[in-house]
Amino acid sequence: MKLGGLVTAGGLATRMGGPLAVDKALVRPWGASGPTLLERAYGELARLASPVWVACRAGRSYAGYACVTDATPDCGPMGGIEAGLAAAEAAGCAALVVLACDMPFMTAGMLERLTAAREAWTARRGEAPLMTAFTLRGSGYFQCLSAVYDTAVLPLLRASLRAGRFGLYGVTPPERRCLVDFSEAEAGFFFNVNTPEDVAAAGRGRPGEPEGLTLSGL
């Protein structure tokens, strides 16, 4: 099974002093010698998916990366995922592993739990789930920006965009959704950077080692 990867990096960073005042993808939480948020996310995805694209807002690209731009503007991350899925489908990928650039502690090892769950679901049911995502055990909430999307979800996603429904939660029917539990002890992997304070908090940790961090950054 061929997997593509997508780093979403098209946000406006409004809570970082934006819109567009700060390009969050280029922030270096671990200092000038450390990776940018984009470099970190791309590197993790490249360990389990190929090719990997970066979803950018219109007028923005990143040198050295294969960038895709929202076909539908001003619709949040759904536009970038649509563009990534279209690229993945054209490249012959069965699915797309999506990771937001502002999740500095997510790892390839965690994402492999999703791909393994997807394979097991497919073997049991004879069809792949349209979405495979993490859920905090007992919460009913699932993570749309560290997830695996089957390319077969593309028509549903486009229909949602045409209808002006930009929320990712309602795109996939529950019966075609594979959810993978994570515990409170693992919540730090899902910490995301929205504010300067979050950058400082991330910088006190080590890439891939979210000790002491929680979902409070979401």
**Mind listing the pLDDT tens digit for each residue in 90-127?**
999 999 999 999 999 999 999 999 999 999 999 999 99
Q: What is the mean pLDDT of the chain?
A: 89
Q: What local confidence, expressed as pLDDT, does residue 71 receive?
A: 79
Q: What percent of the chain stands above pLDDT 90?
A: 69
**Nearest residue to 98 (alpha-carbon basis) of 209, 5, 215, 14:** 5
Q: Would you report the helix, strand and coil content of the chain in percent, each value rounded to 5?
A: 40, 20, 40
Residue 60 has pLDDT above 70, yes or no: yes
Mention every residue, 6+ apart, whose C-beta is less than 8 A from residue 164. Answer: none
84 or 16, higher pLDDT: 84
Give the pLDDT of residue 6: 98
pLDDT at 82 over 90: yes
